[in-house]
Amino acid sequence: MSTTLPELRLKMQRELASAREIADAATAAKRELTSQESTRVEQHMKAHSDAKLAFDVQRAKESDETIAALKAIGVDLGIGGPSEEVKATPTRKGPRAKAWAEKVTESIDRMGKAVGAPDGVKALVSGSISVPNLLDQGTPVEIDATRTTVLDLLERGNPPGERQGNEFKYVRQTARQNNAAAVADLQPKPTSTYTFGEVSDRYRVYANKTEDLPYRYLSDYSTLIEVVRTQLAEDTILAIEADVLSGDGTGEGFTGLLETSGIQAQAFTTDILTTLSRAKYKLIAQELAFDGWVLNPQDLEQLENLRENGTTGAFLFKSQAEIAARLGAPIAVTAGIPAGTALVGDFSQAQLIPVGDDELVVDTGKRTTNNSFLLMYEGRYGFRVKKPVSFVQVDLEA
């Protein structure tokens, strides 16, 4: 039974996708649902509702535990309990990112009021505050959201065991040979091969700061939200996404999925749709699960413009949802993956690991020089790929 947040989120996605597939088939055939199909749709929607209820309960429990732990060490972010209502959308410019930014801004406001000045943030002196990490941007993305990001696909990990400095280790599966079979009496039992190797890595710091900003912005609540959300949180997310996918690991960034030894490859075959299908069935043939795709915007555009007869005829797909249904899993669209390359796989086999809270630094040191201030954001994250064979890199160009 699914119990973790990633498992419950995946359960919701799969049940809703199954219900939509049945409905779309009836729509395509220009007919009403049969009684049997209606029953199946109801079963999938009930399973989705049950999973969502379990998700909300588990999320509330984890939120309460986190808030209690923060308050125990004197950090109060002013975040309500599980009853707090924050509507979620996956677009970074929507309420999800805004909710995170509001919490950060409220923390800044309390920091200013702590010095005893009536105008709060305008009395700020340089300092830093602990803020939620970027994986905690408000309520998780709802199942009926219209956009999926790479961070939505990735599983969230926890720092393993007792950390020794900035290093961490984990076990990665490098080979699997299934030799399971029926065994006759007194005959040798088959032996399957499951090969693992220990991987050593380190946590990386991702940071971003604003340019010098007019000091008066500190008295403008809505403007400060835009600064934090647009110039800090969103751009930091883009940098993490790009490295998770394509980082070469030679500098301070992650070694991304496309550069991880052991992932599978699918060469271009005939056309883009055939190639994507071959990649999907490469996993299915090995009985490997997959729960997401990553595409560059240019490649998604190419799929959206496919027609029945080459350059003429009706479009093959009416929406991105239909493309995802054909590919069999949600699609995350990002410029962090090169055009002409796609990635499909089981993203529960890759984990992004936040190390504690992130830090927002308020630097007002230049107020007496040019009446300005700046904000700097940074957080520490690890990334691990537990089973590279669960991913396929797809070449979409001949």
pLDDT exceeds cutoff 60 at 143: no
Of the candidates 85, 108, 127, which is a domain's last residue?
85
pLDDT exceeds cutoff 60 at 110: yes
Alpha carbon distance 295, 300 (integer Å): 6
Taking only Cα atoms into account, the Rg of the chain, rounded to an integer number of angstroms, comes to: 24
Alpha carbon distance 307, 321 (integer Å): 17
Whole-number Cα distances in Å, 96 to 93, 150, 259: 8, 15, 31
Of the candidates 85, 105, 133, which is a domain's last residue?
85
Q: What is the CATH number of the domain that holds 250?
A: 3.30.2400.10
Q: Which amino acid is at 80?
A: G
Q: Give 325's pLDDT tier (boundaries 50, 70, 90).
A: very high
Which pLDDT score is estimated for 107? 67
Q: Same structural domain for residues 77 and 96?
A: no
Q: Same structural domain for residues 49 and 100?
A: no
Q: Same structural domain for residues 184 and 292?
A: yes
Strand partners, 349: none
Q: Same structural domain for residues 77 and 123?
A: no
Alpha carbon distance 397, 24 (integer Å): 30
Alpha carbon distance 314, 304 (integer Å): 11
Q: Give 138's pLDDT tier (boundaries 50, 70, 90).
A: very low
Alpha carbon distance 392, 239 (integer Å): 22
Residue 161 sits at the vertex; the CA angle it makes with 160 and 163, to the nearest 5 degrees, is 85
Which pLDDT score is estimated for 77? 41
Alpha carbon distance 177, 80 (integer Å): 49
Q: Same structural domain for residues 39 and 147?
A: no
Q: Please name the residues in contact with 371: beta carbons below 8 A apart, sequence gap of 6 or more.
A: 214, 215, 216
Q: Same structural domain for residues 230 and 326?
A: yes
- For residue 18, give its domain range: 1-85
Residue 57 sits at the vertex; the CA angle it makes with 52 and 60, to the nearest 5 degrees, is 120
Provide the greatest CA pair distance for the chain: 88
pLDDT exceeds cutoff 80 at 74: no
Q: Same structural domain for residues 276 and 198?
A: yes
CB 117 within 8 A of CB 342: no
Choice between 67 and 167, residue whose per-residue pLDDT is larger? 167
Q: Same structural domain for residues 264 and 162?
A: yes
Number of structural domains the chain divides into: 2
Q: Give 36's pLDDT tier (boundaries 50, 70, 90).
A: confident
Whole-number Cα distances in Å, 32 to 9, 97, 321: 30, 40, 21
Which pLDDT score is estimated for 258? 96
Q: Same structural domain for residues 181 and 191?
A: yes
Among 59-63, 103-107, 268-272, which range has the highest average pLDDT? 268-272
CB 116 within 8 A of CB 107: no
Choice between 260 and 61, residue whose per-residue pLDDT is larger? 260
Strand partners, 266: 394
Q: From its phi and psi, is residue 340 left (phi > 0), alpha (psi between -120 and 50) or beta?
A: left
pLDDT exceeds cutoff 90 at 64: no
Phi/psi at 134 (nearest 5 deg)?
A: -65, -15
Q: Same structural domain for residues 217 and 351?
A: yes
pTM of the complete model: 0.64
Of the candidates 85, 108, 126, which is a domain's last residue?
85
Which pLDDT score is estimated for 268? 96
Q: Same structural domain for residues 74 and 113?
A: no
Terminal C-alpha separation, the chain: 43
Q: Same structural domain for residues 122 and 13?
A: no
